[in-house]
Structure 1
């Protein structure tokens, strides 16, 4: 089943490579958006886009179940060779940016969001105290099952996030972080998608030290 495009706005730009084997749906609810897929990808996607937003997907990605929401003036950029094993959501309900580096691996039941998706106010001043904030995940990052990557989080390249973690701050490169909130539990690591006893000599040059 191909990608179904439902365009309820104007001046929306869509670019999908003809060789993609993906299926799913894209819904534009507003105007002046762009959805650019730079190369073939496979799997299932469900994408909703509001107005003045852009979504970019790099080439050679595989998404078992990826859901993207980019509302007003939002950007979600996914690098090449990114894999999603099961339900993963990239959510921008407010203006903000989610940037995913190349060669990342996402397990299942993961939410990445720039917003709390509700407002909290100071009871005296009436000012909002929980604004949205961008999220950035570096290259070759492994995100485990049931992880929440919260607004303002930065995850360095080459790192791993343990199952069930809540990431709400910076995680350095080449480390393992776990817990609620996530904390570094091991440094100076590298990882490989293959099950091997030693780091293969043909491993990609992804040492980021």
Structure 2
């Protein structure tokens, strides 16, 4: 697997939070904010496009006038292995995007969990398609003997097929 490839990355970690980024993940440009003892976990072999944001908090509190309770608490973000986050995606608190998935450009994901091997898109994001797999390179059809395919693609293909059997 190739090592990290990071273009522009801004990470702000506050108040006991943490950010982990898995091996072989590429980032063109991203901003990550983790606050209030939350975690941002990004799995291995992810592909993060330009202007992607991940935020575990809204950065300001919204409170009930009757109870004084905070209405917008912080929450963890979990990005599984081999996830492609499209340009301008905003991944916010409480989001779980499972492995082998794709998040469409300019999508907003918050407080939702999505299954493996799916396409998520929209504002707010919703499930568009299940049973997909993506590769860093393009081909008209998957051919495992073809040298143009990502060397890890067959691994992700097999994992996705196992997920589909569940």
Do the aligned partners of 2:80 and 2:98 also contact (CA within 8 Å) in 1?
yes
How far the C-alpha of 1:60 sits from its partner, in A, is 1.3
The match for 2:8 is: 65
Shift of 1:93: 2.8
Aligned equivalent of 1:123, options 49, 52, 65: 65
Choose the corresponding residue for 2:94, options 152, 161, 164: 152
Q: What is the alpha-carbon distance in structure 2 between the residues aligned to residue 69 and residue 121 of structure 1?
A: 24
SS at match of 1:205: helix
| Alignment correspondent of 1:37 | none
- Say if 2:16 and 2:35, in contact at 8 Å, map to a contact too: no
**Structure 1 equivalent of residue 56 of structure 2:** 114
Structure 1 position 205 matched with structure 2 position 155: yes
Asked whether the 8 Å contact 2:26–2:47 carries over to 1, the reply is yes
Deviation of 1:204 after TM superposition, in Å, equals 3.4
Asked if 1:196 is matched to 2:122, the reply is no
Q: Which has the larger strand fraction?
A: 1
Q: Per-residue deviation at 1:200?
A: 3.5
Paired residues of 1:155 and 1:172 also in contact (CA < 8 A)? yes
Please give the alpha-carbon distance, in whole angstroms, between the structure 2 residues aligned to 1:124 and 1:160: 41
Aligned counterpart, 1:99: 41
Moved over 6 A (4+): none
Against the structure 1 CA distance between its residues 183 and 61, is the aligned structure 2 distance closer, same or farther, given a 3 Å change threshold? same
Residue 142, structure 1, aligned to residue 84, structure 2: yes
1:186 aligns with 2:142: no
Q: TM-score, normalised by structure 2?
A: 0.86
| Structure 1 or 2: more helix by fraction | 2
The answer to whether the Cα contact below 8 Å between 2:18 and 2:38 also exists between their aligned partners in 1 is yes
Count how many residue pairs are aligned between Structure 1 and Structure 2.
Answer: 150
How far did residue 95 of structure 1 move? Answer: 1.7
Query: What does the per-residue CA deviation read over 1:99-155, in whole Å, with 9 as the maximum and x for residues that have no partner?
Result: 000000000111101111110100111111111110000000000011000100000
Aligned-pair Cα RMSD in Å: 1.2
Match of 1:31 in 2: none
Q: After superposing the two structures, state which structure 1 stretch, 139-148 or 89-98, moved more.
A: 89-98
